[in-house]
Structure 1
Amino acid sequence: RTNNLGPMWAYILAHENAVPLWRSLMGPTKVFRARHSDPDSIRGAYGLTDTRNTTHGSDSPASASREIAFFFPEFDERRWYEQDEPRLRRGQLFYSPEERVHRVLRAQEADVT
């Protein structure tokens, strides 16, 4: 998505502790605080102001579910946990350079590779 500030990307991060890990990488929401207390964080290194702090991350799994539904209306979270997430844990993934994302191999694709 592009706006007057430039390109924007939205991703779904899949990890057992995705929310706290991503929030740790982002650093404090307030850019001034991030620059002083966590200068190697994303916001500490690249944030401009508190409203232009370069990144966003959900603050809880419930918020993540709401935000995923907003940005990715075609994503079926229940199906992910029932079908795709077990494949992720088994390492049945491939990287799509065109889409710049990791994809879970479907059964028919696993037979081909």
Structure 2
Amino acid sequence: MVFEQTFIMIKPDGVQRGFIGKILSRFEEKGLKFLAMKLITIDDETARRHYEEHLGKPFYDGLVEYITSGPVLVAVLAGDEAISIVRKLVGATDPKDALCGTIRGDLAIDIGRNVIHASDSPASATREIELYFDEAEILRYSRIDEEWLYEA
């Protein structure tokens, strides 16, 4: 079965607060599959490319400074409708609007420190995956539980 791929990033505040395992387990428990993952520190150029859609906005420089301030975990996830499922699990961008039970609703308070990023569209997912991963880093495999997750 071919699944949709999406990208997530546990931001510096999520890493520093010790939420990596807690966040990753939510995606696995839902039935999503990790295809790639690494802990990195983002350089200035990559950060500017990641946030290029916000260039010229008053918060742009702050975003770049924040995302380069410490280690982040980047990952590629796969599953049927993975992008929309991940976005629902992550919750609203502003944690004040995020529902309880979502990652941001449970773990964040401030929009500027909202713990996690998730791609919002297939185009964004492709662009972000290519920004952080070489094709050789993305694994292709089947998990044994896929027959119990998806109806044939």
1:50 is displaced (CA, Å) by 0.9
Matched, 1:51 2:112: yes
Q: Which has the higher strand share?
A: 2
1:31 is displaced (CA, Å) by 1.1
Does the Cα contact within 8 Å between 1:48 and 1:54 map onto a contact in 2? no
- Residue number in structure 2 paired with 1:13: 77
**What is the CA RMSD across the aligned residues, in angstroms?**
2.4
- Residue number in structure 2 paired with 1:26: 90
Does the Cα contact within 8 Å between 1:31 and 1:50 map onto a contact in 2? yes
1:34-91 CA-partner distances (Å, limit 9, x unpaired)? 1xxx11211011113112100111011111000000011x126xx97xxx3xx42xx4
Where do 1:34-73 residues align within 5 Å? 34=98, 38-72=99-133
When normalised by structure 2's length, the TM-score is 0.46
Off by >6 Å, runs of 4+ in structure 1: none
Does the Cα contact within 8 Å between 1:31 and 1:47 map onto a contact in 2? yes
Aligned residues: 79
Does the Cα contact within 8 Å between 1:26 and 1:42 map onto a contact in 2? yes
Unaligned runs of 5+ in 1: 93-113
Q: Percent identity?
A: 36
Unaligned runs of 5+ in 2: 1-39, 42-67, 145-152
**SS of residue paired to 2:89:** helix
Shift in CA distance, 75/46, structure 1 to aligned 2, threshold 3 Å = same
